[in-house]
Amino acid sequence: SAVISQKPSRDICQRGTSLTIQCQVDSQVTMMFWYRQQPGQSLTLIATANQGSEATYESGFVIDKFPISRPNLTFSTLTVSNMSPEDSSIYLCSVVHMDSYEQYFGPGTRLTVT
């Protein structure tokens, strides 16, 4: 398995501001993903974080709103830009190890936008 940490664990932000969420893994992984989970709902994939290149976004998510960086094999950031109350959600980082399909999730960042 992998030990994944996320910072911050939660935050309350004002409308129109931006928040950057960090994801750190304790070992090198092939793939890193960012998900969003509304309370009581399933997980929705935002994007795949690619090392050294632009992230690959899913339908409905754009780089201007959710810029992502992945400078190396163990670290990634997700920024939620120009936030609105609709962005209130849990944001989860996940990783896939180099030699397996297995995907592991971080503890999540609970974001509330007021």
Partner 1 sequence: QQQVKQSPQSLIVQKGGISIINCAYENTAFDYFPWYQQFPGKGPALLIAIRPDVSEKKEGRFTISFNKSAKQFSLHIMDSQPGDSATYFCAASNESASKIIFGSGTRLSIRP
Residues contributing to the site for partner 1 (CB under 8 A): 1, 4, 30-31, 33, 41-43, 45, 48, 92, 94, 96, 101-108, 110
Nearest of 114, 112, 113, 104 to residue 23 by alpha carbon: 104
Closer residue to partner 1 (CB): 36 or 83? 36
- Rounded CA gap, 38 and 56, in Å? 21
- Rounded CA gap, 84 and 51, in Å? 29
The CB-of-92 to partner 1 minimum distance in angstroms stands at: 5
Closer residue to partner 1 (CB): 61 or 105? 105
CA atoms 101, 6, 11, 113: torsion sign: negative
The CB-of-55 to partner 1 minimum distance in angstroms stands at: 13
Taken as a whole, the chain contains a residue count of 114
